[in-house]
Amino acid sequence: MKQVISGIVTGFLLILLLAGCAGTNSTREGDGKAGSTEVYPISMEDATLIMRDAMEKEFPEDRIEDIFTPYRGYKAKMRFLADIDVVSVYAVPAQGRGPDGKSVKGLAFETHHVGTYPLGGIPKAKAVFKRVVESADRVADALPRI
């Protein structure tokens, strides 16, 4: 009986380890608490500085890599024992509605995490997202997305 329970527990842990996890926070999808369906009328240069700063603050000891496709952004890997989680942040071109009701080009932000270390990846992706939205709010007022 003890061997059966031990086998079940081992199997469950192996499935959990191999299954992985993924998630997204976004100002364009409305699923982030720090931002809703928001577009920031800022340049890509400002966006890259904001994203890089947020990643450097959350990953001070880790290598941060540039991302150029599908959108401009950055990514970093977190490791814990055999587990890895990759956290990415992107600036996504979007259209917002200005105060006068006209369409304004801008950027929305997204963070993603994927891997087998969700206990580290989820809070880190949320922290990067929060930093990005707070910094973008200091540069420009967010506009509702069209």
Tens of pLDDT, residues 75-108: 999 888 988 889 999 999 999 999 999 999 999 9
Q: How far is CA 74 from CA 42, 92, 112, 123, 126, in A?
A: 18, 12, 11, 17, 15
pLDDT digits (tens, 9 = 90+) for 124-138: 999 999 999 999 999
Q: Which residue has the tokens 């939205």?
A: 133
pLDDT digits (tens, 9 = 90+) for 29-84: 554 444 457 899 999 999 999 999 999 999 999 999 999 988 999 999 988 898 88
CATH of region 21-144: 3.30.310
Average pLDDT taken over every residue of the chain: 83
Q: For the chain, which residues make up each domain, given as ranges?
A: 21-144
